[in-house]
């Protein structure tokens, strides 16, 4: 019973709405929080999908004036973009923020909200975990456009500085007040993007499940996410218009995000983040490549958890016919085969070398990964040498 005594925190979650009229519900909620002039941040994906227009219409119908509309150009959130937006916010007397876009736009909006509500002068003074203090309230709405919706519900943002260095920001003030999920008009981006998005959610769910901070609630969230991926990924890949499948995958993303805010992540995330900064692109490009190695690395420590999670990944027959002592190994091999198979089918790079990593970069990346917060909650406590080994094995 000692485990039940361990201290835990479950942060407040944003209000999440989906389905018909979700944009109207989002705008109404924003209005009820005091929004009258909004800074709207979108990106090319949001505009192309039509979601940005839906958002604009709903905000107008709720009598929320558009103070400014900024279209994010970069896939990665940057310090420069946040400062530019801060000026726009002030010049146009905005009182709230709404973002509709992919991860770059959402990370930018979250960092902006943290900066404005903390009333600090620069981003470096609020970088880190729980550094930014919420001094003023700024209503904040998020609509994720891509398949990985986890970013809409977490309270963290990842930015790149001018120097190329990546910084993580995690604070209550980075969390949205309201989040809308629209599976009908959301962008799938094709087979490859769906594989990358789903693989990232799979990775995050498995890592949070075995995290040292995992609690019963977060474990349930992760297991539901795994089951949703099992039930829907195949259908979404075969038929991109299968809205029920897309909706399930989006819920899986939300679940993994909510669990992440409590349980944190692990080794795969630490490595993926470091690779993304070093080699470019988002961390989803690396999650699927490193995940199988990380699962193998953690297997001994996480046997019981992996055995439990196996059911949710392979269902009744596979689980029942696998001997209990072999279930953990079965999970590791199933994930490896499935992820690798999908990446090959999608024509995606399956090694880190193909993604641009060189042998001589490995020590630098490993050192950067050691500095990430995600490692603190990983159960196997990898060393820098362990990470070097993992990177080398996937080169």
Stretch that binds another protein, among 104-112, 133-141, 279-287, 357-365 (CB under 8 A): 133-141
Question: Is the separation of the CB atoms in 286 and 267 below 8 Å?
Answer: no
Please state the separation of Cα 342 from the chain's center in Å: 20
CA distance 226 to 231: 9
Is residue 121 a contact residue for another protein (CB under 8 A)? no
Residue 320 interacts with another protein (CB under 8 A)?
yes
Contact 96, 39 (CB under 8 A): yes
Nearer to another protein, 317 or 360 (CB): 317
Q: Sign of the C-alpha dihedral, residues 372, 287, 390, 162?
A: negative
| Residue 24 in contact with another protein, rule: CB under 8 A | no
Contact letters (x/-) for another protein, 260-299, by CB under 8 A? ----------------------------------------
Q: Give whichever of 28 and 386 is closer to another protein, judged by the CB atom.
A: 28
User: Is 131 near another protein (CB under 8 A)?
Assistant: no
| Cβ–Cβ under 8 Å, residues 282 and 103 | yes
256/221 Cα distance (integer angstroms): 7
- Taking residues 143 to 172 in sequence order and writing x for each that binds another protein by CB under 8 A, - otherwise, the string is -----------------------------x
Told to check if 12 binds another protein by CB under 8 A, we report yes
**333-372 footprint of another protein as x/- string (CB under 8 A):** ----------------------------------------
Beta pairing, strands 140-144 & 37-43:
unpaired
Comparing CB distances to another protein, the nearer of 4 and 360 is 4
Closest CA to 83 of 114, 129, 23, 123: 123
Nearest Cα to Cα of residue 182 among 149, 157, 228, 208: 149
**How far, in Å, CA of 138 to CA of 298, rounded?**
41
Nearer of residues 3 and 163 to another protein, judged by Cβ:
3
Site for another protein in 210-269 (CB under 8 A): 216-217, 219-221, 223-225, 228, 239-244, 247-248, 251-252, 254-255, 258
Q: How far is CA 36 from CA 66, 138, 149, 359, in A?
A: 8, 11, 26, 53
Question: Which of 307, 368 has the CB closer to another protein?
Answer: 307
59 interacts with another protein by CB under 8 A: no
Q: Quick one: which of 25, 105, 208, 229 contacts another protein (CB under 8 A)?
A: 25
Q: Of these, 4, 121, 325, 385, which contacts another protein (CB under 8 A)?
A: 4
Shortest CA distance to 368 belongs to which of 169, 168, 105, 141? 168
Per-residue tokens: 347: 């024509």
> Judged by CB, which is closer to another protein: 128, or 356?
128
Which member of 125, 137, 351, 383 binds another protein (CB under 8 A)?
137
Q: Between 247 and 297, whose beta carbon lies closer to another protein?
A: 247
Structure tokens at 265: 């992540």
Sign of the four-CA dihedral 260, 107, 103, 393: negative
Minimal distance, residue 25 CB to another protein, in Å: 7
Q: What backbone torsions phi and psi does residue 144 show, to the nearest 5 degrees? A: -80, 140
Tell how strand 65-72 and strand 96-101 pair up. Answer: unpaired
Please state, in angstroms and as integers, the Cα–Cα distance from residue 305 to each residue in 27, 328, 385, following that order: 41, 8, 25
According to DSSP, the β-strands at 166-170 and 156-160 are antiparallel
Which of 120, 212, 296, 319 binds another protein (CB under 8 A)? It is 319
Binding window for another protein (CB under 8 A); candidates: 45-53, 265-273, 341-349, 374-382: 45-53
Q: Tell whether residue 134 is a contact of another protein (CB under 8 A).
A: yes
Determine if 20 is a binding residue for another protein (CB under 8 A). yes
Q: Which residues bind another protein (CB under 8 A)?
A: 1-2, 4-22, 25, 28-29, 31-32, 34, 48-50, 133-135, 137, 172, 181, 183-185, 187-188, 216-217, 219-221, 223-225, 228, 239-244, 247-248, 251-252, 254-255, 258, 308, 311, 316, 319-320
């Amino acid at each position: 019973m000692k485990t039940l005594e361990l201290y835990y925190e479950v942060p407040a979650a944003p209000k999440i709405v989906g389905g018909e009229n979700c944009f109207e519900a989002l705008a109404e909620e924003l209005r009820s929080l005091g929004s009258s002039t909004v800074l709207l941040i979108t990106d090319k994906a949001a505009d192309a999908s039509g979601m940005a227009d839906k958002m604009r219409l709903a905000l107008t119908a709720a009598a929320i004036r558009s103070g400014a509309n900024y279209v994010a150009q970069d896939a990665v959130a940057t310090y420069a973009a946040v400062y530019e937006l801060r000026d726009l916010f002030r010049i146009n007397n905005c009182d709230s923020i709404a973002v509709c876009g992919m991860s770059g736009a959402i990370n930018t909006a979250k960092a902006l909200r943290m900066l404005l509500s903390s009333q600090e002068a620069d981003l470096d003074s609020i970088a880190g975990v729980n550094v930014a203090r919420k001094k003023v309230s700024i209503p904040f709405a998020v609509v994720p456009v891509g398949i990985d919706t986890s970013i809409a519900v977490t309270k963290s943002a990842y930015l790149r500085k001018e120097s190329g260095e990546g910084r993580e920001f995690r604070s209550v003030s980075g969390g949205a007040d309201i989040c809308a999920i629209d599976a009908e008009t959301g962008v799938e981006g094709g087979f490859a993007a769906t594989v990358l998005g789903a693989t990232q959610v799979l990775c995050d769910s498995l890592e949070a499940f075995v995290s040292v901070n995992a609690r019963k609630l977060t474990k349930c969230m992760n297991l539901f996410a795994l089951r949703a991926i099992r039930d829907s990924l195949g259908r979404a890949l075969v038929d991109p218009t299968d809205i029920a499948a897309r909706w399930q995958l989006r819920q899986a993303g939300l679940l993994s995000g909510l669990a992440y805010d409590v349980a944190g992540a692990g080794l795969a995330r630490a490595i993926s983040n470091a690779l993304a900064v070093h080699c470019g692109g988002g961390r989803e490009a690396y999650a699927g490549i490193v995940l199988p190695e990380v699962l193998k690395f953690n297997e001994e420590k996480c046997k019981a958890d992996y055995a439990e999670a196996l059911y949710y990944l392979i269902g009744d027959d596979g689980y029942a016919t696998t001997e209990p002592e072999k279930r953990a190994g079965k999970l590791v091999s199933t994930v490896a085969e499935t992820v690798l198979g999908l990446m090959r089918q999608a024509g995606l790079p399956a090694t880190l070398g193909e993604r641009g990593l060189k042998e001589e970069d490995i020590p630098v990346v490993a050192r950067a990964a050691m500095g990430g917060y995600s490692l603190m909650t990983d159960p196997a406590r990898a060393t820098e040498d362990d990470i070097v080994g993992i990177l080398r094995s996937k080169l």
